[in-house]
Amino acid sequence: MSTVLDQMELSEEQILKHFAAANTNLMGFDHTPRVGTPTAAAPQGEKSSGIPTRRRFRSTTPGLVTRSTSRPDGVHLIDRIKGADADDPITSPLQATALHGLRRAMAIALALGESFEEQTGLDALKRENLAGALSDAKKAEFTELLTAEALAVAYSFANGLAFLMSQHTTEKTVEIGAVEEVLTDNAQLALHGALWELDQKIAAHAPDDVSLIATLAAFAEQLMEKLALRAQTASRLEPFTSVSYRVEADDFTLNGFTPASRGRGSKLTMTFKKPHEVVGNHIAKYQSMKLAKMLMAYDFERKLNPFAELGGFIFTFMGDGKPGTGKTTLIQMMAGLISGYCETAGYAFRYQNLSTDNIDSYQGKSGQNAKAFINNIIDPNVIGFGTIDDIDQLAGKRGDRQSSAGQLEITAVLMESFAGANTVVRGNCTFGMFSNYPENVDDALRQRAGARFLVDGPITREDYIDILSLLMGKNHDIPTGDHKLFEAQEIKRAVAASFEGHSRPHEEGLANVFDRVSGEIGDLDTIAKMGSYLKAIQQADERFTGRAIKNITDAVKVRAMDFELPDEWMEEPDLFLFKPYDAKLGMISELRQPITVEIVIQEINRYADSEFRYADKSDEVAIENMVRDFGRNEEAKRQYLESKS
């Protein structure tokens, strides 16, 4: 996982000086497509006989000698956009917004390119090339840097355009197809290729102003995706990917090849639940309440959470349990807590659920939907909570012939996003995966859940009395009887008892391993003995890999943070939330508790119990399926023989 990027500022002065070049590109330039196929003619504006309406544009990239790519009709985006509503000769507000957004996105990209040149020495190489003094030894470096600059500039343009259009988009969406004219010879050619294809997309998909904005947004997303893929095999991109660039006037931050989005919260319409309305599920409820407060420690200036730095933050978790045990109620409780805290602090809160509606028959669309979901939640300008309910139905299991292509696309996106090489954990968001049948979730994806919440619902007699009273409501006169309502739900006492219950494993297979190892080497009171226990678990279940150990140690670190931030810190933001990052880091460090042998053993057992539980269920399901198949075969043989006789 990556660390948070350093930040540099792109000043307004740097951006404004590139407006002239951006204006020229919008008015008109010549471009012969290399990859894309032309589908639309150039827009025709009014003109007097013998007087050209558009100025000719010649490629003038400093230090480059480029061949002419002239074409009689050229690319004239101003005319194209003004013609989006052919019946109205006057430029509409949305058309003006689109043009201003395009100009600003280009200017930002060109300013970024200028900064890239200065950092890498590409500006000096361009001057040498222009003078014919570029040595053979430097030609390879020159070519590689030109490609890197083209990728950085084109991506910054697309990212800026998507960001600037985001506040003007509506429910209207358009399917523009793939972006093809992606050129990386140099930055100017990359922009010209992108603008040429955008001109084609507008002509094909923007018959009105609303469709125009939707087309610009869809094009920007497609272009970013294509460029990010190209960047995976390109070199010399570190000056762009290792630094974030801030444009203060737009509240816009460029973080390498990561899409930016506005810090706007989503309006929630779900029914929130109070913690006492979650009956049973003590550990899951306790950790959800802690996590809700952990998220609030995020520092919007530093773009980092002290809990993420100290190692006690839960980025991904899985909640599993039988149907009807309270997974939805847990989601409603956690979303309600975060929403309330954010409302008090004035923070933007964004909640989204990835559902089966996101599985699409169109190739690649399911993956795009999943990536959009991830990007929406990880936006560093908001507090985010993303849920994936019934993940066993949504994400396909690799190797399972019943998994659709769309389900496998979603699996791939989630795996890369939750623990990929480019994953950045800032501590502003968390993802919860929920399932009634976790054994049907792909093993590698399930192991990317850093924490496990067993959602087992009401267990004790007191739990059942509490949930009956809660669901009955108040429209009755039935006495409660000899019982103190909700006393059993007192969280600290219940959680302590639940954690102590994991001093020994719950699953029979794991208990056998625990007893055998303890009998051979005694109490597991040293790291060496605990390591022997972990190896014995791995021998019993080969899926218990190094990732499992990482998840266990992360859970141990969370236990070291086994405290709730005081409620008054959430109610009065000046006490904690609005303090500088270093002050928050110090306040949290003071509350941290030491790690003990008991904590480590309990977390090993908790995690391993879940894996053994999944494996047992998976085996049972496989056996049931085989029995069913054998039965079908026998019945098919019987019917076949009867038909022959």
Number of domains in the chain: 2
- Which three-class secondary structure string do you get for 555-595? HHHHHHCCCCCCHHHHHCHHHCCCCCHHHHHHHHHHHCCCC
Q: Is 445 in a helix, a strand, or coil?
A: helix
Q: State residue 617's pLDDT score.
A: 55
Residue 184, pLDDT score: 92
Q: Are residues 539 and 583 in the same domain?
A: yes
**Are 196 and 332 in the same domain?**
no
Residue 645 lies in a domain: no
Q: Which residues make beta-bridge pairs with 431?
A: 316, 386
Residue 330: inside a domain, yes or no? yes
Calculate mean pLDDT across residues 110-125.
92
Residues 238 and 387 in one domain: no
State residue 70's pLDDT score: 36
88 pLDDT exceeds 80? Answer: no
pLDDT reading at 61 higher than 50? no
**Cα 134 from Cα 230, distance rounded (Å):** 27
Cβ contact 297:242 at 8 Å: no
% of the chain exceeding 70 in pLDDT: 87
CA torsion sign for 626, 629, 633, 638 is: positive
Residues 6+ apart with CB under 8 A from 478: 472
Q: pLDDT band at 364, cuts 50/70/90?
A: confident
Quick one: pLDDT band at residue 489, thresholds 50, 70, 90? low
Give the Cα separation of 202 and 214 in Å (integer).
10
Q: At 293, which CATH number? A: 3.40.50.300
Query: For residue 268, what pLDDT band results from cuts at 50, 70 and 90?
Result: low
Stretch 470-480: mean pLDDT: 81
- Give the distance, in angstroms, between the CA of residue 411 and the centroid of all CA atoms in the same chain: 13
pTM exceeds 0.75, yes or no: no
pLDDT score for 52 = 42
In a shared domain, residues 18 and 77: yes
- Burial-class residue 618 by CB neighbours within 10 Å (0-12, 13-18, 19+): middle
Q: Residue 487 — very low, low, confident or very high, per pLDDT cuts 50/70/90? A: low
Q: How sure is the predictor about 73, in pLDDT bands with cuts at 50, 70 and 90?
A: low
CB of 434 closer than 8 Å to CB of 319: yes
Identify whether the C-beta of residue 153 lies closer than 8 Å to the C-beta of residue 10.
no
- In the block, tokens 């590409």 appear at 122
Q: Say if residue 613 is in the same domain as residue 499.
A: yes
Residue 640, pLDDT > 90, answer no
Are 418 and 558 contained in the same domain? yes
> Which band of pLDDT confidence, cut at 50, 70 and 90, is reported for residue 498?
low
The reported pLDDT for the residue numbered 16 is 94
Quickly tell me which residue has 């067993």 as its tokens: 454
Which range marks the domain in which residue 126 is found?
Answer: 10-39+57-254
Same-domain check for residues 101 and 200: yes
Lowest pLDDT segment from 200-204, 261-265, 309-313, 398-402: 261-265
Chain-centre distance for alpha carbon 73:
42
Above 70 in pLDDT, residue 280? no
10-29 confidence digits (pLDDT tens): 899 999 999 999 999 999 99
Task: Please check whether residue 259 lies inside any domain of the structure.
Answer: no
For range 177-201, the mean pLDDT? 92
If one counts every other C-beta atom within 10 angstroms of the C-beta of residue 441, the result is: 26
What pLDDT sits at residue 49? 39
User: Residue 318: CB partners within 8 Å, gap ≥ 6?
Assistant: 391, 432, 433, 434, 435, 438, 441, 446, 449, 451, 452, 453
Structure tokens at 492: 């600290």
Lowest mean pLDDT among 104-108, 308-312, 409-413: 308-312
CB within 8 Å of 615: residues ≥ 6 apart: 439, 509, 541, 543
Q: Is the pLDDT of residue 153 over 90?
A: yes
Question: Who wins on pLDDT, 63 or 620?
Answer: 620
For 383-437, the pLDDT digits (tens) are: 999 999 889 888 888 878 788 888 999 999 999 899 877 788 899 999 999 888 8
Residue 109 lies in a domain: yes
Residues whose CB falls within 8 Å of the CB of residue 161, separated by 6 or more in sequence, listed in order: 101, 102, 105, 216, 217, 219, 220
Q: What's the pLDDT at 267?
A: 56
Q: According to the model, what pLDDT value does residue 281 have?
A: 67
Same domain, yes or no, for 221 and 309? no
Residue 54 pLDDT class (50, 70, 90 cuts): very low
Residue 335 domain-assigned? yes
- pLDDT tens profile 328-341: 888 888 999 999 99
Mean local confidence (pLDDT), 229-247 = 88
Q: How many Cα atoms occupy the beta-carbon half-sphere of 427 within 13 Å? A: 26
Between 6 and 363, whose confidence is greater?
Answer: 363
Which pLDDT score, from 0 to 100, does residue 161 have? 93
Whole-number pLDDT of residue 591: 84
Q: Degrees (nearest 5) of the Cα angle 561, 565, 571?
A: 165
Segment 291-302 mean pLDDT: 91
User: Is residue 640, in this structure, part of any structural domain at all?
Assistant: no
Pairwise CA distance, residues 611 & 320, whole Å: 12
**Nearest-angstrom CA–CA distance, 534 and 541:** 10
Q: What gap in Å lies between CA 573 and CA 570, rounded to an integer?
A: 6
Q: Are residues 285 and 212 in the same domain?
A: no
483 band by pLDDT with thresholds 50, 70 and 90: confident
337 and 191 together in one domain? no
316-320 β-sheet, strand order: 349-353, 383-388, 429-435, 316-320, 451-454
Between these two residues, 436 and 73, which has the higher pLDDT value?
436
Same domain, 295 and 169: no
End-to-end Cα separation, the chain, in angstroms: 67
pLDDT: which is higher, 57 or 286: 286
Residue 517 — very low, low, confident or very high, per pLDDT cuts 50/70/90?
Answer: very high
Alpha-carbon radius of gyration of the chain: 29
- The pLDDT value recorded for residue 3 is 44
Q: Identify the residue with better confidence: 568 or 85.
A: 568
Average pLDDT of the chain to the nearest whole number: 83
CA nearest neighbour of 73 among 50, 85, 56, 60? 56
Cα 106 to Cα 112: distance, rounded to the nearest angstrom: 10
Mean pLDDT of 38-67: 48
Query: Does residue 344 form part of some domain?
Result: yes
pLDDT of residue 272: 73
Judgement on whether residues 238 and 292 belong to the same structural domain of the protein: no
467 belongs to a structural domain? yes
